[in-house]
Every structure is written in C-alpha cells, then in structure tokens.
Amino acid sequence: MDPNTRGPEEHGHDGDGDTPRPRPSRDPLTPDFGQHAPGPARTVRLVVGEHLLTVNPVDGSEIELCPPTERPERPVKRTPEQRAEVERAAHPPAPAGPTRPAQPLLGRQDEREQLVRLLARGRSVRLVGPAGSGRTSLLDLVAEDCEDLAPDGVVRLSGFGRTPADLLHDLFHAVHEADRHRPDDEELRALVREIGAVVVVDDLDFGGTALDDLLDATPECAFLFGATPDTPPPSDDSAVEEVVLGGLDRAGGVDVIERAVGRTLTEEESNWAGDLWFESEGLPLRFVQAGALLRQRDQLRADVDAVDAFGVFEDARPLAEPVDAGAGDAEDIPLPSLGEAAAPAPLLAARLSASARATLRFAVALGGEVPHQAHLPALVGDTHADAALGELAACGLVSPVGTRYRLAAGVQTQLEAAGYGDDTETRALTAAQHYAWWAGHPSVTPERVCAEADAVLAALALVTPTTAPPAEDEEATAVRLARAAAPAFAAGLRWSAWEHALHEGAEAARLAGESADRAYFHHELGVLALCVGDLDRARSELEASLGLRNSLADKRGTVAGRRALALVADACGDIPGLASATVGEEVPDARHEESAPPPRGIQAALPTYPPEAQTLAHRPVPPTAPARHSRGGLKGLAKRNLVAAGAGALLVAVLGTVVTLGATSDNDADNPAGRGGVNPSASTGLSDGGPGSQTPSDDTGTGDTGTATSRPTDPGPDGTMGTADDPTPTGSATATTGAGGSQGSSGGTTPTPSHSTSSSPSSRPPSSSPRPSTSSSTGTGGSPSASPSQSPSTPPTPSNSPSTGTSASGTTSSAPVSPSTAGSASSSSSSSSSDSVI
C-alpha cells in the first residue's frame, strides 16, 4: 500500500466503529506518538495530616486514616543546590523572542542599603510604595544581596491573593522536600518554626493581626514585605520596620527614558519628559512607558523613510493611522500629547502586532491575568503568538507577579476605555473551553495547572453566571472546566484555588441542572472541610452529596461519601446508636462508700433473683427505646454494664442482710446456738417429739461433724497432742447413756429434731474457749440427752469419756446446733460424767 495514502486501519481504525487502538511502534525503544485511547483517570495520593487522601476526579476523592506504613518521614530541608533551583522557579518565565538587556535600577541605592542593613540585624521590614514605583525590581536586588545572611537562604513568595495559612504552606514547601505531603496546622507550625531564612513577599494583601500571626509562627525568619499604601498596616505592637519608596527625581526620569530609547533625548523630548515627570509624580513605570512611546515613534519614522526611498515595506507597517498623520514626512510625526503620555496603553497597543493586541483583549477579559505564553498560539490562533508577551513586557504594559504576568497598574482601565473589553464574554468562553481541554489532558501535571490557577479561575468565574442547561449530548463549559481543574488544584496542593473551583463548579452544576456533578462538588467540598478541620461544614456538604447520589443510585459515590461521613463522626466523637440507646436512662452516680464484695463462696451460695429484683439498683429502660438495639454494639454493652452494676448492688444488699442477722443472733444470751458442743444434746422443743422420736430430719447436708472431727483435737489433761491421755477419736459423733437410763447417742437410733434447718450455724468452727453447759448436772432422773448424728449405727463410746459440760479438765467442746433443736431448753439432770465427747 502507498505509504503516503494510509487506510483507516493504519491510523488505529479498522472501519467497523470500534475504539481506536494505538498503532504499534516500529522500534520498541522509541515511544509511540500515534493516537492512543483515553487512559484511566488520573488519581493522586496525598498525606494530609493524619489522613490519606486519594484524589479521584471521577467518583470523588476518598479519605481515610493514614496507615502507619504510608506515613512519610519527617521532612528534610533542601540542599543549597535545590534551593537555587526553587529560587529560579519562583521567577516568571522569560518572554519569547530576543532577550532585552536588564535595565539598572536608578535612584534606589539608599533604600537598597537600608533594607539590607535591617535584614542583616534580623529585623522584618515592610517596603511601601505605589503601584509602578519599581518595588518589585528593588526587592529582586535586595534578595540577591541577602543570599548569605541566613542558613536557609532567601525564599521568594508571592502574596497576591494569598492568606497567612497559604504563605506558611508555601514557605514550608519552598524549604523542605515534602512532595504530596500537606501537614496539619500543628505540625506545620512546628516545622516552619525551625526555618531560618530571609523571606521576600511581594504584593502583600493583609496586615494587622493576620500579619502578626505570620510573624509569630516564624520567629527565626526575617521578612521583607512589599505592599501598596492601601494595604492594611501592621499592628501597633508589631516590630516591623517600614520603608517608604517614593518617585524618581527629574534627572532620574530622563535617564530611564534615555535607557529605554537607546539614545540621548533632544531638547524637545527633554521638555516633554519634564512635563511627564510633574504629572506622574516620578513613577518609574510611567517613564518606561514613555520611553516605549518614543521608541515606537523612532520605528515609525524609520518605516516612513524606507517607504519614501524604496517604495516597499508598505505591508510591514503595524498601524497606518500614525503614518498618515505624518503625510510621509518622518520629521512631522509629533510627540505624544501629555494626555496620551498620562494614559499611554491604547496608543502603545495600537502600534503593536495583531497577536499582541489579541493577547491584551484576553487579559482584559480575564481581569488582568495574562495567559501563559504557551497558551497564546491556541487562544489567538497564531502559531507565533507566543512572542506577543515579549512585546507587551518591553512596552511596560505587563508586569511580573509571582511566577506569571499581569497587566501593569492602570492598564486595565485604560484599555477598557479604549474598547478592549467589548467582547469579554466571547473571550472568556474561548479561554474556558481551552483551559477545560488542557487541564484535563493526561500529559498536563498538576503543578502546571497550579501555575496557571489565576487565569483558570478568572475564566471560570466569568462563564459560571452565564451557564444554562446544555443540549442532550453536550456538557456545560463551566462544569467541565471545574471538573478538570479542581482535582489538579487538589493534587498540586493549591487548596485555596481548589475551594474556589469547587464553589464555582457547584453553582454551575446547579444552573445546568446536572445532579451528578452537583453531588461530586458537594462531596469534594466536604472532603476539603474535613481535611482543614471544619467538621460542621464537612458534615453538611457530605450529607447533601449523599442525598443527591442516593437519588441517582450512584453506588461508588455513595460508598466514598459514607466513608468520609464516618470519619467526620469519628472526629466529632459521635458513636452511632449510643445516643438513641441511652435516651431516658439515668446512670447512677458513683458511690465511694460501698461495701467490699463478698467472698466467692458466699456469692455462689446466694440464689439467683428474677429480673424484677434488679429494679432495686437500676432504673428501668423506658418503652420508647427500640428493642432491636438492645443486642450487641456499644449500646448493648452499656446496658449490660448497667444491669451488672445493679446486680452487684443487690448482691451487696443481700450480703449485708445475712451479716446483720448473724451478728444480731450472736448477741442473744439465751440462744443455745452458741452453747452447744460438737455433739449437742437433743432436747425436746415446743413442737418437737420426744427424744426417741423417729421423725426424719429435714437437714441432710449440714450438721455433719463426724467427718470434720475424725482426728483428735483435744490435747487431754497434759495439754500435749498425741499422748495416751488424749480422747479416743471416732468416726462420727456419739453420745452416752446417763445413769437414769436415758438413751445416749450410742443407741441404735439417734433422735433427730423434727424442725431442723440447714443454715450456717452448723458450719461454724468449734469454739476453743470453755462454755458452761445448759443441761443440769444434778439429779438422777431426767430426760435423756442425745446428739443428732448422720450415722445412726455409730458404735458407743466408753462410759468414762470426758463430758461436754463442765468437766474436771475444764475443756468444753461446743458446736452450734440448728435453731429448732436449740429452741427447747434441756431440763434433764444427767451427770457431767455421762456427757459424751469426741
């Protein structure tokens, strides 16, 4: 096939309407410059404070807590070589075309030396001068003189439209290497506090307390501010020196004009320059523009002489009207009038090229912002339009502001009066369409978009109010520009421009009726507010975005919005469901005088009470609380804690009752519970049967002393354990038969009281102190005494065993008995020798 006539398949189209594919490269080592399919959306990950922000231009930015592995290390300061590179990047780009020699600064030597002397002492200075007084040029010279004064060198910043927070972040990134890292306010202030540099800030817009806050945050820096007289002054307590910059004298003005023209002025031109000096109060900008007028006049005179001599170069005339005024005589071209010299912008623009005049129209439409020279060929429609910026700079119609150019002081008003602002809407729409395509192109980095931020925002602000619902397959220009520029501003850490673009985009989407775009802009505004710590605003913006996305069934956007809203709730300290769970509940105050918790054995012995008993210590939950939240979660945990606290309080109350009953029972002297021995006698109570009653006992587990007393516990008369006089141990409690024929515990049956209770007295340890027996030891006829025993077939003990009453040895073994058994006092008169012991 003819290589000069390629088919559609060779351009990536196979003719069937499919998506075009890139043509394979001939050499794999060289890039393929063919037409590529659109790539994936450009996403950027940023570390913002304690959050990890993923800028997503499609569904909305995603924010989460930054994992420890993603946390950047502490930023390090740049080396001197890197600082020099940053310093070069802080200057505006050189205009295209032939380089003009730099003009020396005349008549400013005294101010220059004074500023350097103050900065060398560590003092901060504010240079105040009107627009066009040469303030920026003087700051450049002072910055060169102070390169070796501070350890971190000189930092150039632009204060045009910047806040104190913006300047702090700019200063941080100018000194530190921290790509894709934006510290929070606390970390930022800690880092900039360690910076020691001479900071030159031109076009300062604020003063007062805001300026004091900037100075307090950077105690090791010496600032040189450039401001106009209408800028708010510093506060009275501020230690900022002020140097006023005035105009040039008459000789200095004439010298500036001669340097601009490149020759000595004639007497007529000198008188004309004197009148201009009186009218302009000696502002250097006016003399630069006056020198441009004389230079253009010389060019016109040269063009007229060339036409008269050769009859050619007629088409090379930039403008025919001034030449016609001279009627072909170069000597008859007059000097500009004093009025034209006072407002020279229209006359200077009329003698420039068509591309330069078109550039001025775009600058007027954009509020004074001159587009970068790389955009001029596309905007103007001329491939050589990038040279227009050099023409404008040579005439003094534009001046540098930071890293870009703006119309010089007074030029905007003069050009608008000359009709350069008649087609503002058309020019702004053209610029917005161009920037929307350019900012969304994958090859354009966020840093380049941030450098053009002011022109982009100016175009966006102009086209937003005129936004209308687009056609079916079209998209509003303002919405498309905001969608393309806002993610780039966020990724480039130009957050003031990001916020401005989001506000304009939300308004444009509302006017265009684009709900999806409105949801995106509200989501981004919420994420931005969350990053800067404005939680109330973040919540409202995210909720508005979620409402729109729910109506659109946007699942991905809804997920991103809910995650961001969860972070807002976490930052605010909100716990989902806890507020509704505790509605109507009162948590009792902490009590510091509570009883100690009972032993574990007593807790196990206590019965389990029904839930109604918990109301003694816990107020019931009102019926308004939903029952579905009572399980699991923080609400259920809090409720279970409250119920456990109530049960514990109830346990303490029951334990106190038991302890109180036991204490009061010991104080009764007639209570036989404390007088019984290890094997107490069974006496006849009021409701009991006789001693020989065979009524089964209700107590089956308590009162078993046989097992506990299987080993000897009485040392005997000699007081030594293990001797021959010790009492013989038995396997169970026994009793002897008295002299009166009473049946003891050694009989075949053991009388058991009919109303025995299984309470704690049976488990009390034997008393170590002797206690007199309540049974009578005199008389031979009485009721028999017997001891209850678990084993009715216990063998009898010898008749000469020690008694449990008052014995010769003086020892008495006593064990508590059940209250029913001890309730009836024994009236038998068994002898003390017949009482049984272990």
Q: What is the pLDDT of residues 498-552, one digit of tens each?
A: 999 999 999 999 999 999 999 999 999 999 999 999 999 999 999 999 999 999 9
Buried b (16+ CB within 10 A) or exposed e, 421-453: eeebeebbbbbbbbbbebbbeeebebeebbbbb
The pLDDT of residue 720 = 59
The pLDDT of residue 591 = 40
- CB 63, CB 531: distance < 8 Å: yes
- CB 761, CB 818: distance < 8 Å: yes
Return d(Cα 493, Cα 499) in angstroms, integer: 11
The pLDDT of residue 351 = 92
The pLDDT of residue 688 = 45
The pLDDT of residue 550 = 93
The pLDDT of residue 242 = 93
Q: Return the closest-CA partner of residue 238 out of 205, 195, 207, 197.
A: 207
**Alpha helices of 470-554 — where are they, by DSSP H?**
477-491, 495-512, 515-532, 535-552
Q: Give the Å distances, CA to CA, from 357 to 260, 353, 380, 381, 518.
A: 21, 6, 10, 13, 38
3-state SS, one letter per residue, for 102-162:
CCCCCCCHHHHHHHHHHHHCCCEEEEECCCCCCHHHHHHHHHHHCCCCCCCCEEEEECCCC
The pLDDT of residue 725 = 60
At 136, the amino acid letter reads T
Give the DSSP H/E element, type plus range, for residue 435: helix 424-439
The pLDDT of residue 715 = 60
The pLDDT of residue 279 = 87
Q: Which residues contact 631 (CB under 8 A, 6 or more apart)?
A: none
Measured at the alpha carbon of residue 680, what is the angle toward residues 675 and 681, in degrees to the nearest 5? 110
The pLDDT of residue 766 = 44
Question: What SS3 state is found at 695?
Answer: coil
Q: Return the closest-CA partner of residue 116 out of 140, 89, 152, 151.
A: 140
Tokens linked to 295: 């230079």
The pLDDT of residue 706 = 42
3-state SS, one letter per residue, for 744-797:
CCCCCCCCCCCCCCCCHHHHCCCCCCCCCCCCCCCCCCCCCCCCCCCCCCCCCC
The pLDDT of residue 755 = 43
Q: Give the Å distances, CA to CA, from 558 to 130, 528, 548.
A: 52, 17, 9
Return d(Cα 464, Cα 480) in angstroms, integer: 11
The pLDDT of residue 647 = 65
Q: Return the closest-CA partner of residue 838 out of 787, 785, 807, 802.
A: 802
Tokens linked to 186: 């606390």
Q: Give the Å distances, CA to CA, from 825 to 629, 734, 819, 820.
A: 62, 20, 11, 11
**Which portions of the chain are predicted below pLDDT 50?**
1-39, 307-328, 330, 577-638, 665-669, 671-710, 730-838
Return d(Cα 210, Cα 165) in angstroms, integer: 9
- CB 756, CB 698: distance < 8 Å: yes
